[in-house]
Structure 1
Amino acid sequence: MKTLTAVAIAGGMLFIGCASHPMDPTISMTPPKYVQEMPSKDTDNVSNNPGSLFSNGTNLFSDTKAKRVNDVVTVVITEQITQSSQASKKLNESNTDAGGLFDATISGGAYVGGKEYKLSKTGIGINFPSMNSTRTFQGSGTQQRNEKFQTTITARIVKVLANGNYYIYGTRELYVDGQKQIIQISGVVRPEDISPDNTIDSKYIADAKIAYKTQGDIKRYTEQNWFAKLWSAIVPW
């Protein structure tokens, strides 16, 4: 029985160690709901004309910008986050309870040996002292953040929406010196925002999702191990 318990505990710890920490940030590359619900644009409305001088192929004078499903477009990612915030709070609270004299009258009686004895006392005073309390709190904080991420990635048109916009998705994996780098991007772009050289800046992508992650020894050595994550989840303070 003890052996089974030990094996169960070890298996549970191993499962927790392999699982993602609940506080690890993640990003889902699933298309937005409106992209999934919006019908695709019918792009196959050009009929074939056998023997005609004009075909349904690419126009002689058309540009080379992506416009059909599975066409590719180069995305220039230039994301910069600059943030500065400052907050302060001050709290003062004071309470005063005044004391005073409390007067009371006590009366009563008793029968002893068939005789009645009465007791009366007036003017018993109880003096309550005054009480004062003061509470003060003061705190302040400042935060500054400056991050910049630049790269290029080629994405593919996954869906041409009914309004003519494109839903694109792209991924790139690099393996350099034992380290694996993964870049993913998705979002909705307008055809007119694509430059003549078939590139688009990431700032023109609606509902943009950009993910950059690494795998390898450096990542393993620079993040908390599974036991530290488990302990911080159990004892958050």
Structure 2
Amino acid sequence: MHRILSFLYVLFLAGCQSLGDVGKAPEFTETRGSLEYSSMMSPGFPAQLTPTQRRDAASLWSAERQSLLGDRRALRRGDILTVVIEIDEKAEISNTTSRKRTGKTSMGIPSFFGLPQRANEKLPIGANMADAVETNSATSHSGNGSVRRNEKLTLRVAATVVDVLQNGVFAIEGSQEVRVNFEIRELLVSGYVRPEDISRQNQITYDKIASARISYGGRGQITQVLQPAYGQQINDIILPF
């Protein structure tokens, strides 16, 4: 009984939390204190300049990032780069299987040292050992299966280099939130990229991100309407039929 009351209390709190959002737009996620914010606040130690770099620091043709021809790609913790997500995938699979099997077995003992004749005397009328056993069997199976999928997604998001691993690979994370009326569309991306895969425009495509995690969803009134009610979700979990 105590467990049931506790469960009902949790459901009541969840319902109160939803009722408290009535008439209010969903709040943005706070950026201060996030891993991206921490990476920008402490980008690490600055790179030591070589004597050649010090000589060329004031030159118009210097290779420094601030110069006209400098490399402005993300190079260290706290730098920002653009992730281009262009997913246009199609998959179609079709399988057909068919199987058929027929079997027939017949066995009889017309004579065996006179024993079948003696056995026939004790068998019921119409039964004899000449046609002792006869079986027939037939099985068939057929199956059909198909999968068809079509996905298309085109997005761009700014990500931050949150860490530089020992092998020089960058760990990146990026988030983007857009609020339209009472609905927030949220885009999250994370993964690992090689510095040499970043283009001169400081961009990288999603297919060059290792362990890529891309999430595109939302929260707000429309998302709540699309979700089944709490009671229906509980019934789907508990009821076996």
- Please give the TM-score of this superposition, normalised by the length of structure 1: 0.67
State yes or no: 1:180 paired with 2:174: no
Task: Check whether the contact 1:70–1:156 (CA below 8 A) recurs between aligned residues.
Answer: yes
**1:206 — aligned with what?**
210
Q: In structure 1, what residue type is equivalent to 2:84?
A: V
Identify unmatched segments of 5+ residues in structure 1: 18-41, 106-120
Give the alignment of 1:59-208 within 5 angstroms. Answer: 60=67, 61-101=69-109, 122-124=118-120, 125-126=128-129, 127-208=131-212
Give aligned pairs, total: 195
Question: Which of 207, 217, 222 is 1:218 aligned to?
Answer: 222
Give the alignment's Cα RMSD to 1 decimal: 3.7
**1:114 — aligned with what?**
none
Q: Percent identity?
A: 25
The CA deviation string for residues 79-103 of structure 1, in whole angstroms up to 9 with x for no partner, is: 1221010111112122323143588
Greater strand content:
1
The CA deviation string for residues 43-87 of structure 1, in whole angstroms up to 9 with x for no partner, is: 6451699xx7759x8553422211111110011111122101011
Greater helix content:
2
Once the two structures are overlaid, the 10-residue window that deviates more, 80-89 or 190-199, is 190-199
Separation in 1, partners of 2:240, 2:158: 42
Separation in 1, partners of 2:133, 2:50: 103
Task: Check whether the contact 1:173–1:181 (CA below 8 A) recurs between aligned residues.
Answer: yes
The CA deviation string for residues 19-42 of structure 1, in whole angstroms up to 9 with x for no partner, is: xxxxxxxxxxxxxxxxxxxxxxx8
Shift of 1:224: 3.1
Identify unmatched segments of 5+ residues in structure 2: 16-43, 59-63, 121-127
- Please give the TM-score of this superposition, normalised by the length of structure 2: 0.66
